[in-house]
Amino acid sequence: MFRRNFLFGKDGGTANLIDVGSDDLYQPGKGYGFVTEKNRREQEGLQIRELNSSFEPMYWYQNEDLTFLREDENGCYLDSAEEVAALEAQSGEKMAGSPRRIPLLFKVDVPRQGNYKVTLTIRSEEEIGEVLIFTGRRRLAFYGRVGAGEFTYTMITNVCDIVPVGYSRIFADKTVDIAVLADRPRISALTVEEVNGPTVYLAGDSTVTDQPGDYPYYPGTCYCGWGQMLPAYFDARVAESNHSHSGLTTDSFRKEGHYAVISQYSKPGDYVFFQFGHNDQKLPGLQAKGGYRANLQRYIKENQAKGVYPVLVTPIARNTWRLRDQTYLDLLEEFADVCLELGAQYGIPVMDLHAHSKKYVLEKGLQDAKPIFFPGDYTHTNDFGAYKMAGYVAQEIREKCKGHSERACAYLAECVTDGFGAWEPVGQINVPKKPEIYKDIPDPAGDQVLLSEAEQLERVVRLCLKEELL
């Protein structure tokens, strides 16, 4: 079984350790190294976010070097706060939504697709403070405060092929990606070890997918699907593999090749979570009691036949309200009801995320619910909101799967944790604006901003409701 041990910042003095310095940038032939703006620009493979950490610099910084690596006797690190301050001094503007941070990104080649246990150690002579650790395609593995001394955390990540956004073919992926965020993120030691165990595969749309994160990073201004936050609620006995994508339906998930990846790699004892509805709703042939139901039935039967456990998740509720009387407008209730009916019919668990998210929106109201959604968006959560929604899914797993007749379902409930406590936005969330000094750098999306999918969805919904929505 594959195992690699890395020691950062100093000579390990043993053949069992790979010494890593601040100048060790990732190269495919080398098999490991840091990812910075420099080697990202030089290597085409590092420019496909789904094959990497999914952290990318804001587009106006594409030609800038933001990551300045250093090392000492305790490891390799960067001073995120210092580098953000330098950017602010250069532009003459303070970035909204502070503190904003630069991620420390490290990449390791592995021999094959599968599950890998990652043990990360941070040693520091002073308190580090708030630390976030992401694995794979920006999936949250740890959130909390780290003090002075030695901190070690073990997590599990899945490496799997993927159909990236904008591509129509499957790309092989054989790398473990680690991202550490803090005011001064650091890695002192790292072990990557191949392990066996069950995998939770996710099939869904933009509300589930591993969304990219712009940096300098702030959780309130990143799109985020609940699927990339779900690992925060699993212990190291189960891994997650997220194949959801923006714009997908129960039909296009199969036709565009995403389901083929799950079918190839899923094995008896694994799980496949399905959450669709947001895009099915827009198509006449995929209404709740029509194509949507039929497609879910087919997915259920296929996975049961191969010993993989299908699980349905009802679609997350939107923050949508009527203008005329300020009452809540539930656009996805029928789709949620179909999931519950199919769960009863086939004896499979149904995670009722729709009920939990709707209850939250109703209790908060339009304005107070906004901080968990991307600014100006009524459908897609930010990192704070996705973490909350993932918590609801975890709660449902614990409640619906505990004591289930299928031992594998009961086991999944045992792997659920309480997460890392509350993670809430503080103050107003503002999307950063392009500084004046970068005014000549064009948006790579042109007139269609990066948020176009959300805007198009809202436009369709508004049209359907004859402008009744806020």
Q: Is the peptide bond before 216 cis (omega within 30 degrees of 0)?
A: yes
Residue 138 identity: R
Cα(324)–Cα(111) distance, rounded to whole angstroms?
59
90-112 pLDDT, tens digit each:
888 888 766 899 999 999 999 99
Average pLDDT over the chain, rounded to whole? 92
At residue 107, what are phi and psi to the nearest 5 degrees?
A: -130, 135
Cα(298)–Cα(300) distance, rounded to whole angstroms?
5
For the record, the structure tokens of 63 come out as: 């030609």
Between residues 448 and 429, which one has the greater pLDDT?
429
Asked if 1-195 and 197-470 have one fold, the answer is: no
241-300 pLDDT, tens digit each:
999 999 999 999 999 999 999 999 999 999 999 999 999 999 999 999 999 999 999 999
388: which residues sit within 8 A by CB, 6+ positions away?
360, 372, 381, 423
Question: What's the number of CA atoms in the CB half-sphere (13 Å) around residue 394?
Answer: 24
Q: What residues does each domain of the chain span?
A: 1-195, 197-470
How would residue 470 be classed by pLDDT, with cut points 50, 70 and 90?
A: very low
128-179 pLDDT, tens digit each:
999 999 999 999 999 999 999 999 999 999 999 999 998 989 999 999 999 9
Q: Kindly report the pTM of this predicted structure.
A: 0.94
Nearest to residue 140, comparing CAs of 242, 229, 244?
A: 229
Q: Which superfamily, per CATH, for 197-470? A: SGNH hydrolase (3.40.50.1110)
Task: Please give the C-alpha separations between residue 257 and each of 113, 164, 203, 264, 409, in angstroms, as whole numbers.
Answer: 17, 10, 12, 11, 27
Query: Which of 212-226, 326-340, 423-437 bottoms out in mean pLDDT, i.e. has the lowest?
Result: 423-437
Cα(83)–Cα(69) distance, rounded to whole angstroms?
11
Contact call for residues 237 and 224 (beta carbons, < 8 A): no
Contact call for residues 217 and 183 (beta carbons, < 8 A): no
How would residue 324 be classed by pLDDT, with cut points 50, 70 and 90?
A: confident
Q: What is the architecture of the domain spanning 1-195?
A: Sandwich (2.60)
Question: How many residues can be counted in the chain?
Answer: 470
| DSSP code per residue over 276-326 | --TTGGGSGGG-IIIIIHHHHHHHHHHHHHTT-EEEEEPPPPP--BBTTT-
> What is the C-alpha end-to-end distance of the chain, expressed in Å?
55
Residues 227-240: what's their mean pLDDT? 98
pLDDT for residue 453 is more than 60: no
Cα(341)–Cα(292) distance, rounded to whole angstroms?
13
Report which DSSP code applies to 427.
S
pLDDT score, position 306:
96
**Angle, CA of 221, 222 and 224, to the nearest 5°:** 135
